[in-house]
Structure 1
Amino acid sequence: MFAVPASPSPSTPKARGLRDVSAPSWFRAFQPLPREHGFEPLRVEGVLPEDLQGTLYRVGPANLSAHGQRYGHWFDGDGAVSAVRFAGRTAHGATRFVETEHRAHERREGKMLYGRYGTVIPGGPLHRLRVPSYNAANTALMHWQDRLFALHEQSHPTEVDPDDLHTLGETDLHGLVPRVFSAHPRRVPSRNATYNFGARYGPGFMWLDLFELPDVGAARRLGTLKLPGLTLLHDFIATDRYLVFLVPPMKLPLLRMVLGLGTLADGIALDTSRGTEVIVVPIDDPERPVRFTVDPFFLWHFANAFEERGHIVLDIVRYADASINLLLGEFITGDLKHPPMGMLHRLRIDPVRQHLSSEQRWDRPCEFPHLSSEQSCRDGRYLYLLSNSPEGGLQPPDQLAKVDHHGGGVETVSPGPGQYPSEPVFVPRRGATGEDDGYLLTLVYDSRRHASHVAVFDARRFTRAPLARVWFDHHLPFTVHGLWVPRGRG
């Protein structure tokens, strides 16, 4: 069924910092996207469920160099959107780079003009102060009013045609977004609206612009928050009545960046002399947030939030420091030194007493949490994550986990030897009778075939082999985030 495991191709580029040893097999996933194409038939292994009708979209960095210069961090790669369309037990796949204005400008000039998260900005100090951040459009996706957007937290959203994945162009959403639209919008079903924020930086402080995007009608700005320092804020969460921010205290290497001696990626660290700020913003009264500080911690991603007896309950992947950033940078060298240390925690916020408590819910490193969109803002029972198997060693995540918040158990499953899944996406079964009655979709890189497929698991029978695998005839570089759009909704 599987080919003999292959050694890394001699053409695999040597990355900075890579030891003089053979690269691990998963490292080939970071080779550039081999070709772009529209929707074409994909080979189905197994049997696809008849009621799986819709499109899985994924986005992530799809190259690690440009114009003769290698990028310094995984986050710097140009984004490519990939899609698998399921209909009638068949599947079609497509993938294309997102052609942002910045990418097009550099291609016309034939050289690097903008700085990235982990790549030194070209030019002198004065130029570095003026040059805008590169819109890599590589982090996450938003589907709003039948439109698809590729997101990058330091840029405007970039609209992509959901039918053929061609880039339609960057947008400020009709003047709504002054500078930045973050990569993690959050939908609140009870309000029929999606919420997001954007960060703007000043001398020693920053503003958070708050946005509301209704399912029908024009988007609007809710308000603006001022933060007393500069930080890295990747995600937030929403409940029926509140937007919640956990703002970690960060040390940012701004002087080294301006002087060209380093980048944000290689100098960022948690400032343990200060606390993490908790900000609870009432959606209906955004000018009156509750704000208080707790012991410092770092996080990349929220999973969910809901309200319970006057408290706000949050599920997050919590870190004691910011070393996860170093691990993500090491992915593109093939030489990992920092183990994953994010743990699933349930937090409870009491806005009246201005108190936060934290309880660890699982003892294995994990990331990229996901739950059914139908359980958003509710006390959902099941949560799905990526994790590393205990025997896997230092490598990208190699298994999926299903956490039962009500029963307390955790199940894990691996797609197979030498296979590396992406963030799981839950799709409810037609006529579902329970929270886990549906399918779990994950884009998998198979290092032995050097090809990618979408594995379709039965979420109720989670530990069994996939119901089906849907194969591209090439590999897709590791993606970051994705979403499911049911048939008839875009």
Structure 2
Amino acid sequence: MASPAPQHFPDRPQFSGFMKPCRFEGEVQHLEVHGDLPSDIDGTFYRVMPDPQLPPFIDNDPIISGSMETEISVHFGSKMALWPSSKNMFAPKNLFEGGLLTNFFHTGKYRNKFTDAMEFAVRSTANTNIVSFNGQLLALKEDSPPYAMDPETLETKGLYTFDGQLPSVTFTAHPKTDPVTGELVCFGYEAKGDGSPDICYYTIDPDGKFTQTVWLVSPVCGMIHDFAVTENWWFTYKNSFPGHTANAYERDDGKIVFDLGLSDNNVFYWWPDAEGNSPEPDKLHTQLTRFTINPNAEEEYLSAPDILHSGNSEFYRIDERFSGRKYNHSYFDLMNPSLGTDFAAIGPVMGGGYPPYNSLAHHDESTGKTEVYFPGRTHLVQEPVFIPRRGSTEEGDGYLMVLVNNYRTLSSELHLLDCRDFTKARAIILLPLRLRAGLHGNWVDNN
């Protein structure tokens, strides 16, 4: 017989302060807005965060267990007034013996099914990213197929295998959309099951039909969290910790440019190496790095990487209309202690989490200049998303939206920046609740 469920969350940093589980399902209308929301924004910001619904059986489980999906709509109402709203739903509801079992009820360690108190038909928490594809939302976690969700209600439909076409047991948390063809470019690692070195790469047309499937074998079994694609290539690099990608493209001279965050240390510090070593979180430093690859070279096809921005950064986003193509503008989270963040006030209520970022950066590669937005002395930022300005085709002409943690009020805010005037917020939407540090999200336009 399984042990009784714990009655409270462990006294650990990852369950305290701002990181205390939210556990809120519901909808809030008519959110407060400070500033000016532009009239050409009409859509929904979807994001996902690890949020355990019930206390874990493992006392020191990492912060990235549990799942909560958030939908924040920003649009014009019938009287030309802006009425942003927010909706939270736990997801997924896991199928177990023919009934519904809320996720994370009897699970053991994160991504270790052998520590579970019982066997699950479905174990994924679908808590890493959420994308819109072919008329529905796909909530993603890279150890399983996606979960399909209703884009209006956020209700879970169940595991989604693209009508039985999915060839692997896993699906990336970072699929890429070709802005020209609308194809979804994806892969799965450990594609034949736990511990397998197999990688399955596939493309899916906008109607959900698989158009290409390629099987590869990795020299080792390891995490492959993100990737970038160009029209023709995919290359590898020496052992390091590659973070999230910004973009990649092929130059006119045939060489390939690949930009991503790179760190020498294990950014997932809560998972030590085979000898039990892990870096101190405050010692981690990830930089926006550029690789230039010559695919036609017989031997040295990869030159030494260049540092595009030396600051401690992550969560890189671009104007995705230029994904896989030459681009200049990148947007990302940045930690710059000199900006004036009140760490003495934040520290006691911050809780556990990945290394914090206190500002947003806009880097223009064509000029080499970087603009910085600082949201306030008691604020830290999450991942931004870029929203193109309606009617404009110019790269980087649009808005940046970001969820911000306010540690003075212990609540969340949505900040909107006009990229033509990046260093100040055009509008701040106040959320009457606290959303834990999340992972990824995306903007879906209503058009």
Show CA shifts across 1:225-249 (max 9, x none). 111321111111111233x25xxxx
Q: 1:372 to 1:32 in 2, by over 3 A?
A: same
Relative distance call for 1:434 and 1:450 in structure 2 (3 A) is same
Identity among equivalent pairs (%) = 26
Flag the 1:83–1:108 CA change in 2: closer, same or farther, 3 A. closer
Letter in 2 for 1:191: T
Query: CA distance change for structure 1 residues 39 and 147 in 2, over 3 Å: closer, same or farther?
Result: farther
Q: Within 5 Å, which residues of 2 pair with 1:261-340?
A: 278=236, 294-308=237-251, 309-322=253-266, 324-326=267-269, 337-340=281-284
Residue of structure 2 in register with 1:79 after alignment: 67
Cα–Cα, structure 1 residues 229 and 455, in superposed 2: closer, same or farther, change >3 Å?
Answer: same
C-alpha change, 1:146 and 1:430, in structure 2 (3 Å) is: same
CA distance in 2, matches of 1:38, 1:166: 13
For 2:195 and 2:24, locate their aligned partners in 1 and report how far apart those are by CA, in whole Å: 44
1:205/1:156 CA distance change after superposition, 3 Å: closer
The letter for the 2-side match of 1:180 is: T
Cα gap change, 1:312/1:226 in structure 2, threshold over 3 Å: closer, same or farther? same
Q: Does 1:171 align with 2:164?
A: no
Residue 167 (structure 1) shift: 1.1
Indicate the SS of the match to 1:443. Answer: strand
Give the secondary structure class of the aligned counterpart of 2:442: strand
- Residue 115 of structure 2 aligns with which residue? 121
SS of the aligned residue for 2:321 comes to helix
Q: Which residue of 2 aligns with 1:372?
A: 319
State the Cα distance separating 1:103 from its structure 2 match.
8.6
- Whichever residue aligns with residue 170 of structure 1, its letter is L
Question: In structure 2, how many angstroms separate the alpha carbons of the residues matched to 1:420 and 1:103?
Answer: 38
8 Å contact from structure 1 (residues 73, 118) kept in 2: no
> Could you tell me how far apart the structure 2 residues matched to 1:119 and 1:320 are?
30
Does 365-374 or 171-180 show the bigger shift? 171-180
2:197 to 181, 206, 213: 206
- Contact residue 115 and residue 134 of structure 1 kept, 8 A: no
In the other structure, the counterpart of 2:368 is 408
1:444 aligns with 2:404: yes
1:480 aligned counterpart, secondary structure: coil
Alignment partner of 1:240 is 2:231 = yes
Identify the residue that residue 289 of structure 1 maps to in structure 2: none
Q: Paired residue for 2:87?
A: 94
Deviation for aligned residue 1:337: 4.2
Structure 2 residue 375 is matched with structure 1 residue 432: no
Deviations 1:43-93 (A, max 9, x none): 2122211111111111110238535544521222x1111111111222111
Q: Which amino acid aligns with 2:85?
A: H
Work out whether 1:184 is the aligned partner of 2:174. yes
Instruction: Describe the shift of the 1:36–1:336 C-alpha distance in structure 2 as closer, same or farther (beyond 3 A).
Output: farther
Conservation of the 8 A alpha-carbon contact between 2:96 and 2:120: no
Q: Structure 1 CA distance, aligned partners of 2:106 and 2:406?
A: 32
Partners of 2:195 and 2:72 in 1: CA distance: 44
Structure 1 residue matching 2:37: 3-state secondary structure? coil
8 Å contact kept, 1:176–1:221: no
Question: How far 1:459 sits from its partner (Å)?
Answer: 1.1
| Cα separation, partners in 2 of 1:214 and 1:49, compared to 1, 3 Å | same
CA distance in 1, matches of 2:389, 2:96: 39
CA–CA distance in structure 2, aligned partners of residues 474 and 42 of structure 1: 11
In 2, the alpha carbon distance for the partners of 1:93 and 1:106 equals 25
Structure 1 residues 161, 120: closer, same or farther in 2, change over 3 A? same
Query: Which structure 1 residue ranges, 5 or more long, are not aligned?
Result: 1-11, 246-277, 279-293, 330-334
Amino acid at match of 1:487: N
Residue deviations 1:438-487, cap 9 Å, x none? Answer: 110001111111111211111121112x1111122111111110111111
Q: Please give the secondary structure, in 1, of the residue aligned with 2:293.
A: strand
Whole-angstrom distance in 2 between the partners of 1:108 and 1:60: 16
Deviation at 1:34, TM superposition (A): 4.1
The residue aligned with 1:473 is: 432
One-letter code aligned to 1:86: V
Tell me what 2:295 maps to.
Answer: 351
* Structure 1 letter corresponding to 2:92: E
- Asked whether the equivalents of residues 50 and 68 of structure 2 are also in contact (C-alpha less than 8 Å), the reply is yes
Provide closer, same or farther for how the CA distance between residues 359 and 27 of structure 1 changes in structure 2, counting only shifts above 3 A: farther
> Could you give the per-residue CA deviations for residues 133-152 of structure 1, whole angstroms, max 9, x where no partner exists?
83011001121112111000
- Paired position in structure 2 for 1:59: 48
User: For the residues of structure 2 that align with 1:215 and 1:342, how far apart are their CA atoms?
Assistant: 34
Indicate conservation of the 8 Å contact 1:33/1:477, yes or no.
Answer: yes
**CA–CA distance in 2 between the matches of 1:61 and 1:415?**
24
With over 3 angstroms needed to count, the CA separation of the structure-2 counterparts of 1:96 and 1:313, relative to structure 1, is same
The unaligned stretches of length 5 or more in structure 2 are: 1-7, 77-81, 273-278, 348-354
TM-aligned CA deviation for residue 342 of structure 1: 0.8
> 1:224 maps to what in 2?
215
Alpha-carbon distance change, 204 to 451 in structure 1, aligned in 2, over 3 angstroms: closer
Secondary structure at the counterpart of residue 41 of structure 1: coil
Aligned residues: 409
Query: Is residue 141 of structure 2 the alignment partner of residue 141 of structure 1?
Result: no
The answer to whether the 8 Å contact 1:422/1:478 transfers is yes
2:336 partner letter = S
RMSD: 3.0
TM-score of the superposition, structure 1-length normalised?
0.76
Going from structure 1 to structure 2, the CA distance change for 1:336 and 1:471 (only over 3 Å counts) comes to farther
CA distance in 2, matches of 1:431, 1:373: 15
Q: Which residue of 1 aligns with 2:139?
A: 150
